[in-house]
Amino acid sequence: MSAGLSSQVSRDYQLTLTNFLERARRFFPRQEIVSRGAQGISRYNYRQFYRRVCRLDNALSALGIGQGDRVGSFAWNTHRHLELYFGLPCMGAVMHTVNIRLSPEQIAYVINHAQDKLLFIDEDLVPAIEQVAAKLPGVQRYVIMCEGELPPTSLAPVCSYEELLAEAPENYDFPQLDEGLPAGLAYTSGTTGDPKGVIYTHRMLFLHSFALALAGGFGISEADTTMALVPMFHANAWGIPYTSTMVGAKQVLPGPHPQPEEIAGLIQTERVSFAAGVPTVWIGLLQFLEQQNYDLSSLQQIVCGGSAVPLSLIKAYRDKLGLQIHQAWGMTEMSPAGSVGTLKRSMSDWPAEQQLAQQAKQGLLLPGLEMRVLDESGCEVPWDGETSGELLVRGPWVAREYYRDPEASAQRFAGGWLRTGDVVTVDRESYLQIVDRTKDLVKSGGEWISSVALENALMAHPQVLEAAVIAVPDERWSERPLAYVVLKPDQQLSAEELLGSITAQFPKFWLPDEVTFIDELPKTGVGKFNKRALRQLAQQRPRR
């Protein structure tokens, strides 16, 4: 074969998620998918999963959903959500995972911005959508993912997911799709303004899944039982549902609000070997296991990320439970995986404490990605483990722009690179370590809180002159918001009164734990709140 012909052939093959779906059905028909729901555990296998995806796609076609249409989900990690994860992209539509932790205004904004035609909602989350439904003119139908009868609801027109599937045929001819077509859409919090959309093409998700399956990635194989504790409504549950299906692993989907007791129970009974979640989840589980005895001997790997993983947490899992935590770093804009903190072979004879310190770094960039670290003047910093700069990345599963948002795109994407907003050092082994963030946001329990939105709400109070919100470290949630407030002259106001005035506008977890009244806010040379100075001030406050 001539070189010209062979490159033609490889370019013609489209990297789409349909390949993963067909492979799982054919090669692993009896492998299980276990899903925890309101009414307990349900289980089926990849063959049954495939049939339900076919029914779903027939039902979606009958509802007029076609190529390129966006469809929203508002759901936990369940088998139905997994069916949408494949059903939508494999018919050519776009799976928009709406983050259930957003404020009501943001929920309405992202559904409208994405122009979602249908919305699939978990039963217990229906009230949150009812609250904003009047602001969703483009949604043509709501589908409630419930076990039995459709619950009473003001949403209309509405039907149940199971009703929809029951009436649809079981055979579906998946279309030949171009790998460049959008498969998924997720929104991430911008520092200012509205959330920013990120489109994932089939090709991005396909290649991202390959990288995750590598031993230096998450190392997921058919022999694994995976459990994504990171939600499917945030950054594709780190791609674990796609990768697990690609390799034919058994999947455990932990359902609504999984608490330490349920997590430990699922690991024990389903023999979970791979689990991934934010530090808050692992901190909670550790505390629970200090009181309770569970058999976690099946667990071979824990991936923890989304926020910096404390060294003490890695050490506690190692020493108390004999379990290995690997740190992962990534971003919604990166599908989302960027780096993993596994140790190199040459580090195997390092002293245990040095290994631990290395594992507390964000790790090595995944194969396929490239990075640069730039100082404020745009020059590359040396990889000496000391000099810091902003991390820029590019690669096959890194977005090139925000969806329909040229202004935000121009700020964060330039020359094919994504400016991550993470300030890092890179050591002589090429391991990344995040040392700061240029993004003025608070990440609490794995979800973002907008400092600017809180500041604006606080400053709207008639007695408030100025307010600044910063992130302060928190043992359980990684970070919590702290508000510094300056009152107008001669005003009296308590923290409770002030917070009471903004409660209705935000999800409960957004509200600052502390409000500190001060006489004046420190400012930078250009008159902005000097958040660095405020962070220093916060360090000096007495511990609560």
Residues that bind ligand AMP in the complex, under the rule CB under 6 A = 188, 235, 305-309, 327-332, 336, 362, 420-422, 434, 437, 443, 448
Closer residue to ligand AMP in complex, CB, 332/451? 332
List 78, 97, 188, 191, catalytic entry: 188
Pairing of strands 389-394, 370-374: antiparallel
Give CA–CA dist 250/270, Å, rounded. Answer: 9
CA-nearest of 209, 262, 261 to 237 is 209
* 349 three-state secondary structure: coil
**Apex 147 CA angle, 141 and 149, nearest 5:** 70
Give CA–CA dist 283/142, Å, rounded. Answer: 36
Closer residue to ligand AMP in complex, CB, 85/174? 85
- One-letter amino acid at 539 equals Q
Least distance from C-beta 420 to ligand AMP, angstroms? 5
CA-nearest of 393, 278, 390 to 338 is 393
Q: Is 448 in the active site?
A: yes
Least distance from C-beta 499 to ligand AMP, angstroms? 25
Closer residue to ligand AMP in complex, CB, 255/306? 306
Closer residue to ligand AMP in complex, CB, 37/445? 445
Q: Is 417 in the active site?
A: no
Closer residue to ligand AMP in complex, CB, 258/306? 306
Pairing of strands 40-45, 70-74: unpaired
Q: Is 333 in the active site?
A: yes
List 76, 397, 417, 448, catalytic entry: 448
Closer residue to ligand AMP in complex, CB, 31/327? 327
Least distance from C-beta 332 to ligand AMP, angstroms? 3
CA atoms within 13 Å, Cβ hemisphere of 451? 21
Least distance from C-beta 232 to ligand AMP, angstroms? 13
Least distance from C-beta 90 to ligand AMP, angstroms? 25
CA atoms within 13 Å, Cβ hemisphere of 366? 29
Whole-Å CA distances, 485 to 5, 243, 315, 386, 542? 68, 46, 38, 35, 18
Closer residue to ligand AMP in complex, CB, 29/310? 310
Least distance from C-beta 443 to ligand AMP, angstroms? 6
Pairing of strands 364-365, 337-340: antiparallel
Least distance from C-beta 391 to ligand AMP, angstroms? 8
Sign of the four-CA dihedral 354, 358, 359, 364: negative
List 83, 123, 333, 455, catalytic entry: 333
Whole-Å CA distances, 530 to 149, 248, 453, 468, 472? 54, 51, 17, 9, 15
List 196, 361, 439, 443, catalytic entry: 443
The residue number whose beta carbon is nearest to ligand AMP equals 332
Give CA–CA dist 239/518, Å, rounded. Answer: 44
Q: Is 488 in the active site?
A: no
Report which DSSP code applies to 174: P
Supply the residues annotated as catalytic.
188, 333, 443, 448
